[in-house]
Amino acid sequence: MTLLGSNTSPEQLKQMSIAELEALASEIRSAIIDQVSGSGGHLAPNLGVVELTIAMHRVFDFKHDRLLFDVGHQCYPHKLLTGRYEQFKNLRTRQGMSGFPEPAESPYDLFRVGHAGTGISTAVGMARGDLINKESYEPDSNPDGRRVVSLIGDASIVNGLAMEGLNHAGLLNRQMLIILNDNGMSISKPQGAMAQYFDRVRVSHTYSDFKKGARELLKAVPGGSLLQQAYHRMGEMTKAAINEDSWFEKFGLLTVGPIDGHDLPTLIEFLAEARDLDRPMILHVKTIKGKGLDIAEQDATRFHSPKAFTVERDESLGCKVRMPSSGRSFTAAFSDAMTAVMARDERVVSATAAMPDGTGITQTLEKFPDRSFDAGICESHGMDMLAGMAKTGLRPFFAVYSTFLQRAFDQAFQEVSLQGLGVRLCLDRAGLVGEDGAVHHGFCDVSILRTLPDAVIMAVIDEASLIRCLEFMRTWDESLSSVRYPRDSVSDIFGDAPVYELGKARLLTEEFADLDANRPDVAVLSFGTPAVNASIAIDSLSTEYKVAHYDARFAKPIDSQLVRDLLSRDIPVLTLEDHSIVGGLGTCVLECAQEFGLDASRVVRHGIPDHWILQDSRADQLKEVGLDPQGIARMIRHAADPVVHQPFTPANRHKTRGSTPNATEQMH
């Protein structure tokens, strides 16, 4: 009998026997493994929460109640149980479903969630909103009111925002359940004293450990009088599992567990008792990341979010996993280059925030353990820690996804830039990231960092330029510096790269070294890897236009001499960037032109448009925004066209020769 299908709904779970629910859990795991092995996606995190998700939907009514995810990559079972089975076959594509909670897909999803630490705070907000609206659950006055559940896991409980949420949650005088999915992992092994605390809790406590002294504990902790009242509303299982030693009690939060997150009967009983509690509570659930697939259980980091893979089983050699290679990645190139930098300069230190594999820091952690650090899911702390190191004379490099840099902007401002310290930001996954979609695009790092006085902002086009750029950053101690590169393979079409000189672009088409002797029809300024597709586009137009191509290298300081040389000769300029059209390289060029009193009417900006780009392959996303070779060729024709040079409006934007409705372009 097949239990999982397009008609599967939470209502059905309430009618199923435990045996049927366990069979359903097995079907969900099989569906996730089959799909992710073919398409890629978040595997191990979702395999670990199957029973927990079933139990939550069995006990609560999330059409009415509130379910807030933290670290939204644990949502696949939730989506399969809420009517999205058919969309699952096109996971992380525009035709299918997002790999993260997505309100546009279903009323069961309340927030788009892709960054850690947010779920408790948004849950507190909804809990307070329901109180104000008189819609919240109250056991006596409003038993049909809304309940609130926050699911937090993958070690994001250590994030500073999660701490702030907990601090406020303890003040709620109403029901709120925080489920701590403790799998002993984040994306890699969790870091810090709190992780060690949870390790001790997992191995040292059983249900019987919590029986003795529960009532006395409630009298002693902050908020104890409220918790003592709550104690009388609990069932016997919950009373027996109160954690006397939990530091969550200091927040005024009753803490229960840890309990087995794969034992459906136990989960259902505990959740049923927690559902009717009129005080905030933490339910500590112990799960196994990658549960049900031995290779994922054994290597949860590798199978956190793998590419498509095949499993080959051999009786003599055991189990092997094959993943198709898409070429050498920028992450791998950075890893080798960073290791080389650290080998030749003992003042260099490296750090990441819970992403050693994803950012390439794993190699430096292994080779230089005394000078390499994983700060956990704590980007703000990581930035400030490196500021402290820079103050002692060290040369810190912070490898972080562009999308996660945003979480540490205040520290980049206050503790780094304002102090004039040389912290170096290596921004992986810059630009469009592909299947993870809008929650993970690195589209605004230039626009936020360029507001910081004296900041140096760079991009690289290949491995050779990355190596040169890191060497430049190594000796740049005067201010914050950053380099951006995408989740993509490195190209080898440009050959060796010259050294980086502050604020100087690189000419890629040597025949235009003398602009007076050989005047181009248009000049293309590429910032980062759009240079690769631009080169293809330029080659395709070689019989139509003479195109000078520059690797801009710096958005700040911009190569002002180059801008003046081009615009003073009335040479049209097209800027290309895998970054938002708002505040990126194109804006830097326009500001430079204005500053020097130059006519910027021939400047055309092209980048990521000012709207959200949803999940799909990176290649399809680049095509959507016109940063593929064909789209860039259209923009080159448009920039070189001497006929129409006016601001785009909804009425004329598709009429100009070479324009495209998917491209973002603007002229001044």
Q: At 172, is the pLDDT very low, low, confident or very high (cuts 50, 70, 90)?
A: very high
- Residue 8 buriedness (CB in 10 A; 0-12 / 13-18 / 19+): buried
Query: Coil, strand, or helix at residue 201?
Result: helix
pLDDT, tens only, 520-559: 999 999 999 999 999 999 999 999 999 999 999 999 999 9
User: Per-residue pLDDT for 228 more than 80?
Assistant: no
Other CB atoms within a 10 A radius of the CB of residue 227 amount to 26
Instruction: Give 244's pLDDT tier (boundaries 50, 70, 90).
Output: low
Sign of dihedral through CA atoms 650, 655, 656, 662?
positive
Q: What is the CATH number of domain 10-286?
A: 3.40.50.970
Backbone angles phi, psi at 482, to 5 degrees: -145, 150
- Written as six digits, the tokens of 241 are 């599992």
440 phi, psi to nearest 5 deg: -120, 0
d(CA 278, CA 229) in angstroms, rounded, equals 9
Ranges of beta strands (E only) in 276-346 are 280-286, 310-314, 318-322
So what's the pLDDT on residue 313? 65
Residue 5 burial (CB count, 10 A): 11
* Gap between the Cα atoms of 329 and 333, Å rounded: 6
- Cβ contacts of residue 311 below 8 Å, gap of 6+? 37, 295, 319, 320, 321
Is 262 within 8 Å of 288 (Cβ atoms)?
Answer: yes
Residue 407 catalytic?
yes
pLDDT confidence of residue 310: 83
Model pTM? Answer: 0.84
Residue 382 contacts residue 400 (beta carbons within 8 Å): yes
* Statement: residue 581 has pLDDT above 70: yes
What are 590's two structure tokens? Answer: 């326009």
Mean pLDDT of 611-640: 95
What tokens does 379 get? 């980007």
Alpha helices in 290-427 (DSSP H): 294-298, 330-344, 356-359, 362-367, 379-391, 402-405, 409-411
- What average pLDDT score do residues 466-495 get? 97
Confidence of residue 238 (pLDDT cuts 50, 70, 90): low
| Domain 330-484 superfamily per CATH | Thiamin diphosphate (ThDP)-binding fold, Pyr/PP domains (3.40.50.970)
Q: Give mean pLDDT, residues 638-644.
A: 76
User: Which of 115-129, 160-174, 580-594 tops mean pLDDT?
Assistant: 580-594
Q: What's the CATH code, domain 508-667? A: 3.40.50.920
Residue 181 φ/ψ, nearest 5 degrees:
-85, 100
584: exposed, middle or buried (Cβ count in 10 Å: 0-12, 13-18, 19+): buried
In the prediction, which pLDDT does 588 show? 97
Tell me if residue 379 is catalytic.
yes
- 155, 190 contact by CB (below 8 A): yes
Q: What is the mean pLDDT of residues 164-192?
A: 80
Give the pLDDT confidence score for residue 217 in this predicted structure.
44
Counted residue by residue, the chain has a size of: 668
Count, in order, helices (H) and strands (E) of the chain.
27, 20
CB 320 within 8 A of CB 298: no
| pLDDT, the chain, mean | 87
What pLDDT score was predicted for residue 458?
A: 98
Contacts of 523 (CB under 8 A, 6+ apart): 512, 547, 548, 549, 550, 566, 571, 572, 573, 574
Burial letters for 302-335: b for 16+ Cβ neighbours within 10 Å, e otherwise?
Answer: bbbbbeebeeeeeeeeeeeeeeeeeeebbbebbb
Q: d(Cα 587, Cα 376) in Å, to the nearest integer? A: 35
pLDDT of 359 > 70? The answer is yes
Q: Does the pLDDT value for residue 614 go beyond 90?
A: yes
Cα separation, 453 vs 473, whole angstroms = 17
Cis peptide before 629 (omega within 30 of 0): no
State yes or no: pLDDT of 464 exceeds 60: yes
Domain ranges of the chain: 10-286, 330-484, 508-667
Q: Is the dihedral of CA 325, 327, 330, 335 positive or negative?
A: positive
Sign of the alpha-carbon torsion through 47, 49, 55, 59: negative
Domains 330-484 and 508-667 share a fold: yes
Of these residues, 286, 407, 468, 474, which one is catalytic? 407
The pLDDT confidence band at residue 246, using thresholds 50, 70 and 90, is: low
Separation CA 66–CA 59 (nearest Å): 13
pLDDT at 649 exceeding the cut of 70: no
Q: What is the pLDDT of residues 273-314, one digit of tens each?
A: 899 998 899 999 999 998 988 888 888 888 887 888 887 766
User: How would residue 318 be classed by pLDDT, with cut points 50, 70 and 90?
Assistant: low
The lowest-confidence range among 88-92, 140-144, 157-161, 172-176 is: 157-161
Contacts of 546 (CB under 8 A, 6+ apart): 512, 518, 519, 520, 521, 522
Share of the chain above pLDDT 70, in %: 85
Integer Cα distance of 495 and 542 in angstroms: 21
Given a contact cutoff of 8 angstroms between Cβ atoms, the answer to whether 349 and 398 are in contact is no
User: Which entry of 289, 302, 468, 484 is annotated as an active-site residue?
Assistant: 289
Structure tokens at 22: 């366990």
120-164 confidence digits (pLDDT tens): 999 999 999 999 999 999 999 999 999 999 999 867 788 888 889
Residue 377 clears pLDDT 60, i.e. is over it: yes
H/E element, 156 = none
Token duo for residue 620: 């399809």
pLDDT-derived band at 241, boundaries 50, 70, 90: low
Catalytic residue of the set 51, 102, 249, 379: 379
Average pLDDT over residues 639-664: 46
pLDDT given for residue 631 in this prediction: 97
Q: What is the mean pLDDT of residues 419-438?
A: 95
What's the CA gap between 371 and 400, in Å, rounded? 17
pLDDT recorded at residue 234:
60
Report which of residues 191 and 351 the model is more confident about. 351
> Quick check: 658 pLDDT over 80?
no
Q: What is the pLDDT of residue 657?
A: 32
pLDDT of residue 663: 41
Q: What is the mean pLDDT of residues 359-377?
A: 95
